[in-house]
Amino acid sequence: MTTGLQVQRPHDGVVVLRLNRPAERNALDTATLTKLNESIGALGEDRNARVVVIAGTGPVFCAGADLQEFAGDSPPDPADTLARVRLVIRVINGLLELEAVTISAVHGAAIGAGWGLALSCDLCWAAADTKFALPEVAKGLRLPRAISNRLIQVVGPIRAAEIILSGDSYGVSELALMGAIGRQFAEAEALEAEALAFAVQLAEHPRKSLRVATDPLRLAAARGATPEIDYQWPER
């Protein structure tokens, strides 16, 4: 049985968390989110993990939440929806709190919670043709506050408002001008190869100096951390 998340260690000090549901465009079902949450928690206790790379198998980094998981004749149970929102919050907060440097290597598309994963890393690198979107509001879905809070931190409130409210798709060049994308690559293969090479380079740095360098990033992220609160979906 194929697992929705592969945990790979290609080099000492480097861990790759690879989304591995290519047939579903790496959509995040509950099982994959749970494994992500558990893996990130374990990495928080792993003193050998200095750099974490998040990547995806297949043509798409992550298509967002797996809406097919709750597909059926009846509407989804609000408790199930809230539980998944909380799980997304735990994953994003976990990434923001990791001592290790985090790099997202994004190709194809990063939609909804998939973009949330990419945003939550210290570095977001992307293939040039990648598309990013937060379509939840336009589709009448719940956008986890952890994602909107992080987007506001990265691009500022005015640009974040436009991205969230419109649900439009954004390209790499446009997002790079906003400060949401670092390095750009013509091909997905070059993107992942360079991300791994950079991770290996960083893993050779002294652990203490990496920690000192990332401490300000963690403090800034902590100011936007989202508690797992029971906020209600408006009745009308």
Residue 224 confidence (pLDDT): 54
Please give the structure tokens belonging to residue 219. 């403090």
Q: Hey, how many other C-beta atoms are within 10 angstroms of the C-beta on 191?
A: 23
pLDDT in tens, 151-187: 999 999 999 999 999 999 999 999 999 999 999 999 9
Query: Residue 230's pLDDT band (boundaries 50, 70, 90)?
Result: very low
User: Is the CB of residue 29 less than 8 Å from the CB of residue 4?
Assistant: yes
Which residues have CB under 8 Å from 120's CB, separation 6+?
91, 92, 95, 96, 102, 104, 146, 150
- Top CATH class, 5-187+201-223: alpha beta
The pTM of the full predicted model, rounded to 2 decimals, is 0.92
Helix (H, G, I), strand (E, B) or coil at 109: strand
Query: Residue 232's pLDDT band (boundaries 50, 70, 90)?
Result: low
Distance (Å, whole) CA 170 – CA 153: 18
- Per-domain residue ranges of the chain: 5-187+201-223
pLDDT in tens, 57-105: 999 999 999 988 766 656 667 777 788 889 999 999 999 999 999 999 9
Whether residue 223 is predicted with pLDDT greater than 70 in this model: the reply is: no
User: Is the CB of residue 161 less than 8 Å from the CB of residue 148?
Assistant: no
- Token pair 């013509």 in the structure block, residue: 186
pLDDT in tens, 113-127: 999 999 999 999 999
Question: How many helices and strands (H and E) does the chain possess?
Answer: 8, 9
Residue 226 confidence (pLDDT): 59
Residue 221 confidence (pLDDT): 72
Distance (Å, whole) CA 48 – CA 34: 23
What does the chain come to in residues? 236
- Token pair 């360079």 in the structure block, residue: 194
Whether residue 233 is predicted with pLDDT greater than 60 in this model: the reply is: no
Helix (H, G, I), strand (E, B) or coil at 124: strand
Residue 124 confidence (pLDDT): 98
Whether residue 142 is predicted with pLDDT greater than 90 in this model: the reply is: no
User: Is the CB of residue 91 less than 8 Å from the CB of residue 37?
Assistant: yes
Residue 26 confidence (pLDDT): 98
Stretch 132-140: mean pLDDT: 95
